[in-house]
Each structure stands twice: as structure tokens, then as C-alpha cells.
Amino acid sequence: MTDHPASPCDLDAMGQAELVRTGQISPYELVEEAIARAERVNPELNAIIHERFDQARAEAAAMTELRGPFAGVPMVLKDLDGTAAGQPCHLGMRFLAERGYVAPADSELTARFRTAGLVMIGRTNTPELGLVTSTEPAVYGPTRNPWNPAHSTGGSSGGSAAAVAAGVVAVGHAGDGGGSIRIPASECGLVGLKPSRGRVTVGPELGEAWSGLVARLAVTRSVRDAAALLDAVHGPGTGDPYWAAPPDRPYSEEVGADAGRLRVGWVAELPGSNVSTDPEVAAATQAAATLLEELGHQIDEDHPRDLSDPSTTGHFLVAFGAWVARELDRIAELVGEEVPSEGVEPGTWLLAESGRAVTAAQFLAAIDGLHTATRRLVGWWDQYDLLLTPTIPELPPALGQFTSTAEEPLTGLFRSSPLATFTAPFNITGQPAISVPLEMSRSGLPIGVQLVAAPGREDLLIRVASQLEQARPWSGRRPPGWAG
């Protein structure tokens, strides 16, 4: 379905900011329209679980002096991957929801969103602790896809993706520990940029999340929004243990910039993997490779041979359990009460129990194994500039396949694993990656393709993604669940 912008909220965030900056709409009017849209579609989508409507109105009304590149633009915050002072922070957990936990302070990223002028209208749904690739937490229920409400929005940033895809807001805060920015972007027809490790601080609560696998930013409707947002929020926080080298120039200047002739490898299905790629997804990936060739790039059907190395998966699973165990302990420290087994979903508890059985030496050995895998994988970029893959190997799955039960506690984890085939390796390596919504399936569901660059090369991703956006625009697409 296509349409032309008939309302300020139909525009991307930079378009909305321009209307505010030129006085064509006030921050209050823009925020009020976003709230009206949320009230219209959220009862079906279940994207926003903590409303912040009155506070957002008050903050927008108080914007007598416009500051920041996104002054007056409404956004949503994910209920994971960061906190907002005085707002609920439940991480998809019944334990925290039942205790009504409220965060005492902003994460640094939240503070930077505020400094950029963004106005948060609410916090969005997420799977428990972001552990599975569909947003269906037991405590808050499933978030539904605006393209088809029977289907998943992905995880763990599925609530944010649904709000952006439905036209409620143009920016949705997101985080990515195995694909949680890119998978929801693919399933909802959005742009999802995962920055390089250390590009965006995860402080002050943490120095690193999941031993550096987690990166944070947003899902957006346009490449220029992702670039401008990264300009606004990148850089280390005080005391961060490491950070990515700063860019040579603002990321916004990479939008539309000449990318030159790049060498791009591509793969649609990994040889030797037990994960099959849906024919429509494979065709979309091959079409993207053809388009890149038409745009002047050298295209080879080639990829890092270690992408499907089972030993890497084994190292990840050892560390994964330890990370979950530590997360439950950290939550207990925040609340002053141990997290009981009944306070979390069965899969979460089983993962934490497995993590508690891991010795310190075993955990460090697993991290060493992930570092070894990183060196092997990243070496491929000595010969190539970019890798093109599917974002996920299938169409957005139907809801109801990720439920963790006492009898089958690992159902969600097992079902999630194939969806992260092409995304999780680049959390391990810390490389920047972007999902762009180039195609639609015959059934009307979005298909995303992923571009991966060498460490620190978000500039290349933005240049090429903007080339693709210009060559095959997606801004006019509107899902049946559009809020306008």
C-alpha cells in the first residue's frame, strides 16, 4: 500500500524537525498528533506498554526555545536497553512489573535523546530481558505487526518497531545483542542500524552489556534519520572501558555521498548450515546484489566461511547463560530482593541456572573463543568493503511460536536461533550492520536485507544504504495498520 504524506507524522523525523524549526507546526501540536495516533492503533498493536502522554505534552509545551537537531520530534523508548528517570523499567519481566519498579535516573543515551530535542511519549514492549526474537512477553502479551497483526514484529525491539512502522512516531529507541535492532526493522519494513561496538555508550549503569555484544540506537523510517540520530548520540560516556574511533565527518554528510566502486560479497544461504532461506528472501537478497551491481559496485558471491561455525555457537551459549544469571542478580541488587523462579519465564530461569553452573574459567574460555571467532570473521573484510545477506532467513513468523513453558522451557530460544543466523555473528565481532527494507513478499510482509561493514565503518553503510533508498524508495509504503 502506498500513499503520500498528508500529515506531519507521516514524515520521517528529519522532516518533522524541519516543520518545527520553520514554525509550520509547534512541538506541542506534533506531539499531540503522535499521541492521538498511539491512542488510535495501540489497543490492537500493543506496542506502547507505559504511556507517558501527559509528561510529553508538558515537555513539548515548554519548548519555547528549540534546541537540538530533533527539537519537538516525538519518539518512543524501549522498556529495555536503558532507563528514563521516574519511568517504569520492567525489561519484560513479571517480577519487576508486579513490584512497579521505576528507574531513578536516565541512562546516558536517554539523556542524549533529550539533548537532541526528542520527546518521549512512552516505553515500548519487549521480550523478557531481550532473550528471544519475538516480542511476546508473558507479562504484557504480544506486540502485533502493523503489516499483519497475526505476525511477529521481531525482538527484542519489536514494540518500538511496531510504533514506527504504524506511523505513531518516526524514531523508536532500540538495542541489539544478537539482531534486536535489525530483526524488528526487517519484520516491520524499517531501517535498523546497529552501530560498531563502543560507538554508543551503554553507561552509566554498565561499561559493556553482554561482554560487548549489545549495541544501542534506534529503528527509523529513513537512512538520513539513522545517520542524524547517530550524529546526535555517539561517543563515549565518562569512564567507558573502550570506545570506537570518532568519524572523520558527521554521519549525515554520508547520506547521498559518492560511495565509489566498492567490492561487495553476498550470500543468501549459508553452505553447511541447517537453516534454510525462504525462496522469497533469497530472491530479495539476490535482487539487492543485482541492484548494487547496477549502482556501480563489484559484486561477488562470497562470504566469510566461519559464519556458521558451530564452535562459535557453543562459546556463545556458555556466555549467554552467564549473562542471564548476572542480569537476574543485578536486578535483585536494584530491587533489594532475590528474583524467584516464578518471577520470570521458564526459559529465562533455565538459562540463568545454566549460567550459575558455569565456572569463571569456563566463562573466560568462552569469551576467548568468541574473540578467536571475531579475528577469523573480520579478516574477510581485508578483501571486501561490504557483505550483503538476508537480515532474517524467513518471512516475519506468525505469533505464538516463541512461548516458553515449564514443559518446554527452551522453545523460544530454539525458535529464535535460526532468525539470528545472519545477525548474531556481527554482535560477536562488534561490526556495524544495517537492515534496509528493499522488498515486500507476495503476502504483503516486509523483507529486509543486511549490509555489514568493517569495524568502525558506519560511513560506508550509510552511503550505500542511502544509494539503495534512492534507487528503490520505500518511504511511500503504508501498512494496513497505519495510524494516519
For the stretch 363-388, pLDDT in tens is 999 999 999 999 999 999 999 999 99
The kind and range of the H/E element at 105 are none
pLDDT for 5 = 55
Residue 279 lies inside a defined structural domain of this protein: yes
**Three-state DSSP class for residue 303:** coil
Other C-beta atoms lying within 10 Å of the C-beta of residue 165: 31
Residue 19 lies inside a defined structural domain of this protein: yes
Quick one: average pLDDT of 37-46? Answer: 98
Other C-beta atoms lying within 10 Å of the C-beta of residue 61: 13
The residues that are catalytic are 78, 156, 180
For the stretch 264-310, pLDDT in tens is 999 999 998 899 999 999 999 999 999 999 999 999 999 999 998 99
C-alpha to C-alpha distance for 103 and 307, rounded to whole angstroms: 38
Tell the residue number behind the cell numbers 526555545, with chain if given: 65
Q: Is the pLDDT of residue 2 over 90?
A: no
User: Is it true that the peptide bond before 390 is cis, omega within 30 degrees of 0?
Assistant: no
pLDDT for 122 = 98
Q: Is the pLDDT of residue 50 over 80?
A: yes
Average pLDDT of the chain is 97
For the stretch 98-138, pLDDT in tens is 999 999 999 999 999 999 999 999 999 999 999 999 999 99
C-alpha to C-alpha distance for 180 and 426, rounded to whole angstroms: 12
Residue 63 lies inside a defined structural domain of this protein: yes
Quick one: average pLDDT of 334-348? Answer: 98
pLDDT for 7 = 93
Residue 376 lies inside a defined structural domain of this protein: no
C-alpha to C-alpha distance for 148 and 138, rounded to whole angstroms: 21
Quick one: average pLDDT of 452-469? Answer: 98
Q: Is the pLDDT of residue 353 over 90?
A: yes
Other C-beta atoms lying within 10 Å of the C-beta of residue 361: 8
Domain total for the chain? 1
**Three-state DSSP class for residue 80:** coil
pLDDT for 1 = 37
Domain that holds residue 462: 8-302+388-402+431-471
CATH code of the domain covering residue 458: 3.90.1300.10
Q: Is the pLDDT of residue 400 over 80?
A: yes
C-alpha cell at 375: 579475528
Residue 47 lies inside a defined structural domain of this protein: yes
User: Structure pTM?
Assistant: 0.98
pLDDT for 3 = 45
Q: Is the pLDDT of residue 434 over 90?
A: yes
Residue 330 lies inside a defined structural domain of this protein: no
Residue 119 lies inside a defined structural domain of this protein: yes
Exposure of 297 in the CB half-sphere (CA atoms within 13 A): 28
Quick one: average pLDDT of 441-467? Answer: 98
C-alpha to C-alpha distance for 483 and 6, rounded to whole angstroms: 12
C-alpha to C-alpha distance for 70 and 32, rounded to whole angstroms: 16
**Three-state DSSP class for residue 26:** coil
C-alpha to C-alpha distance for 76 and 170, rounded to whole angstroms: 9
Q: Which residues pair with 380 in a beta bridge?
A: none
Residue 454 lies inside a defined structural domain of this protein: yes
